[in-house]
Amino acid sequence: MTGRRPDWLHPAFRLIEGEDSFVWADLAALPVPAGGVVQADRPSRVLAALAAAEAAGQGLLLARGVADPEGWQPEQGFTVTLESSGTTGAPKRLRHDFARLRGRLRGAAEEGARWLLTYDPGAFAGLQVMLTAAAAGALLVAVPGGGGGTIAALAQAARRHAVTHVSGTPSFWRAFLMALGDAELPLAAVTLGGEAVDQPLLDRLVARFPHARLRHIYASTEAGALFAVADGRAGFPAAWLDDAPDGLALRIVDGVLEVRSPRAAPGVADGEGWLSTGDLVERRGDRVLFAGRLDGLVNVGGVKVSAEAVERRLLAVDGVADAMVMAVPSPITGHLLTATIVAAPGVDEATLRAGLRAAAADLLPAARPRALTFADHIPLSIAGKKSRKGPQ
């Protein structure tokens, strides 16, 4: 591919991908597959394909995993089709207008920033990070292997290149903090997204990086980038239900958050423009807090419980570096909850078990984990999230 540099890619932008380095001239020289389909496993491939598709005025499919179009045809006009991870079935494809996709990019004036890519390059969040760095003329650091390889490799790359901006899921951040240990990192911006954020993690990040700007972002492949919260508190202001930012409308219907967004993918909302996020929320005073996923509710002996809500209870216990609560089949109750715990360095296991039992004591019996196991880490999916699917 050769051609004019796109206006969304700053001339000072540079990409480090493992041991390789790219500027626009290098990206422009990369071959681009015909047919509007690219395997979105490396940021260099994705950025080159975006530029080529825009120049050709045709649609682009960012395929995750094996690039198989399965009957997909590029439509006229430059659009970007994203795939879900496909962890629970066939990937879902959603087409986005490129201008809308970039509608809430922040940091375009932060030339000189050094971003770490922790997300899969073909994911909505990964694309947002790449486009933000490209527009700002920043350095983007990526580790080959999906969303950046192992947490240890990402921590090593962050130290080596002295990154200043990192965006990741809460699960990523808990593991990243452990991998960093006491190493210094000149972070100016800490961003979280992709999962509900708990207050203990926000407090840990403020203590670890006191000079960094902290915010958590709410977005999805279907709804696009919605809003960011920057006040250091979990959830979002309840006042936004009456007056939401950035052209949004928010409401709660039967305990589930619904949104009306000018950045949503076409065809995902109802006739009035409302889209159910599937996120359970609770209004508490001046705050709306996330309480798990609607599709994550588990039937334990006839009682619906949220593994994520129980998990947040355990994450608040002193000495817990990370935790994962999941449902496993039970011949008696249908399902029951179990918990895997990662202890902070130097914490006594017996003392921690007692603290965890105390934290769960006032939960409904169905919501109390029936088994506690300890591990040195919790595996994450390519999207940087915990997989709660137990054996079937």
- Contact at 8 Å (CB) between 325 and 311? yes
Residue 108 pLDDT > 90, yes or no? Answer: no
| Three-state SS sequence of the chain | CCCCCCCCCCCCCEEEECCEEECHHHHHCCCCCCCCEEECCCHHHHHHHHHHHHHHCECEEEECCCCCCCCCCCCECCEEEEECCCCCCCCCEEEEEHHHHCCCCCCCCCCCCEEEECCCCCCHHHHHHHHHHHHHCCEEEECCCCCCCCHHHHHHHHHHCCCCEEEECHHHHHHHHHHHCCCCCCCCEEEECCCCCCHHHHHHHHHHCCCCEEEEEEEECCCEEEEEECCCCCCEEHHHHCCCCCCCEEEEECCEEEEECCCCCCCCCCCCCCEEEEEEEEEECCEEEEEEEHHHEEEECCEEEEHHHHHHHHHCCCCEEEEEEEEEEECCCEEEEEEEEEECCCCCHHHHHHHHHHHHCCCCHHHCCCEEEECCCCCCCCCCCCCCCCCC
Q: Can you tell me the distance from the alpha carbon of 72 to that of 365, in angstroms, rounded to the nearest whole number?
A: 49
Write the pLDDT tens digit of every residue in 256-306. Answer: 999 999 888 888 888 899 999 999 999 999 999 999 889 889 999 999 999
pLDDT at position 381 is 80
Higher pLDDT, 30 or 263: 30
Residue 127 pLDDT > 60, yes or no? Answer: yes
pLDDT at position 52 is 92
pLDDT at position 106 is 58
Contacts of residue 161, defined as CB under 8 A and 6 or more positions apart, other chains included, come to: 16, 114, 116, 139, 141
Residue range 318-347: mean pLDDT, rounded: 94
Residue range 7-26: mean pLDDT, rounded: 95
Amino acid found at 231: D
Residue 134 pLDDT > 60, yes or no? Answer: yes
Structure-token pair, residue 241: 């239900």
Residue 388 pLDDT > 80, yes or no? Answer: no
pLDDT at position 132 is 92
Length of the chain as a residue count:
392
Structure-token pair, residue 26: 């290098």
Residue 323 pLDDT > 90, yes or no? Answer: yes
Taking the CB of residue 184, how many other CB atoms lie within 10 A of it? 8
Residue 154 pLDDT > 80, yes or no? Answer: yes
| Angle value at C-alpha 325, between 324 and 327, nearest 5 degrees | 135
Residue 148 pLDDT > 70, yes or no? Answer: no
Residue 20 pLDDT > 70, yes or no? Answer: yes
Q: Can you tell me the distance from the alpha carbon of 114 to that of 165, in angstroms, rounded to the nearest whole number?
A: 6
